[in-house]
Amino acid sequence: MKIGILANISKTGIRETLHPFARWLLDKGMGVAMAGELKELACPGMEGVKTVPVEKLAESCDLVVAMGGDGTMLSAARHVGISRKPVLGVNLGRLGFLAEVSPQDLYRRMEDVFEGRYGIEERMLLEAGVKTNSGSHVFHALNDVVIEKTGISRLIQVQITVNGEFFADFRSDGIILSTPTGSTAYSLAAGGPVVVPTMDAMILCPICSHSLTARPTVLPGGSRVLFKLLSGRREVSISIDGQNTARMTAQTTLEVGRADHFFRLITFKNQSYFELLRQKLQWGLPPPGQ
């Protein structure tokens, strides 16, 4: 088996975690591949570790181990792309909704993978098409696509159409369109609902709307959502998973729908999403002392 490794090199302890793990994989006869910058930091001179450009990592392996936090998992979703290679997340950060495996459990979980004792969850991805006068670009998001004002600009006004039917004009600080996976990210902070990540749905959530009647809305997963900026003189940005950005003007068309491919996340039988909510968010638990 060939293992590709992605990691956030800014995380504390990344070398102490990655170096012995790579050695352990090699001793088991596994192939190991990672970007050159990561190898120089964590595994300098380690024979047997193949260096590949990060954008070609998925082509060089059977599965990807992503070490860091949920931001690293979002990067993994982007780099894995349409290869359908499964990803195992190792949490070196704080919450870790996507990167659930701790460094202490890493070796045990990898043994489970080698023995086939794991499952695959297919998580929905959004495909965002951005069209401007100068051309068009396509982005993919595991968490969300966000339209929001920049700097100290005033409220922005965005017209939203769903499947060709007028939905609403929102005057707000911005709009979040999230996947169920992203429902516990920015959307949750803006007042959106928690949605079980395997559902086929989208969550449309205004940010600080100027109307008390503008509420988060759950849409069918197959919806096509078109955004048009009506406040043309405002400074507005489009953010894809907080990692790619584009400028939005009155001449920009943003259309978002479900991508044709999924993000394939490695999971284990004794992991429960509801237990994860209780653990990470203190979800549904009584206050301390009660």
Q: What confidence score (pLDDT) does residue 27 get?
A: 96
End-to-end CA distance of the chain: 49
Ordered by where they begin, the domains of the chain are 2-123+262-281 (3.40.50.10330), 126-258 (2.60.200.30)
Question: Each residue's pLDDT tens digit in the chain (290 positions)?
Answer: 999 999 998 888 889 999 999 999 999 999 999 999 999 989 998 999 999 999 899 999 999 999 998 899 999 999 998 899 999 999 987 767 888 898 999 999 999 999 999 999 999 999 999 998 888 999 999 999 999 988 776 889 999 999 999 999 999 999 999 999 999 999 999 999 999 999 999 999 999 988 888 899 999 999 999 999 998 777 799 999 999 999 999 899 999 999 999 999 999 887 788 888 887 787 777 766 66
SS (H, E, C) 165-234: EEEEEEEECEEEEECCHHHHCHHHHCCCCCCCCCCCEEEEEEECCCCCCCCCEEEECCCCEEEEECCCCC
* 133-143 confidence digits (pLDDT tens): 888 999 999 99
Question: How large is the C-alpha radius of gyration of the chain?
Answer: 20
CA angle, residues 92, 33, 261, in degrees to nearest 5? 75
Q: What number of CA atoms fall less than 13 Å from residue 25's CA on the CB side?
A: 29
Q: What is the distance between the alpha carbons of residues 254 and 138, in angstroms, rounded to a whole number?
A: 10
Which residues are CB-contacts of 44 (< 8 A; sequence separation ≥ 6)?
none
| Cα dist from 196 to 13, 143, 199, 222, whole Å | 32, 13, 6, 17
CB contact at 8 A, 26 and 43: no
Burial of 104 (0-12, 13-18, 19+ CB in 10 A): exposed
User: Catalytic amino acids?
Assistant: 70
SS3 state of residue 62: coil
On whether the pTM is more than 0.85, the answer is: yes
- The residue with tokens 């400028």 is 247
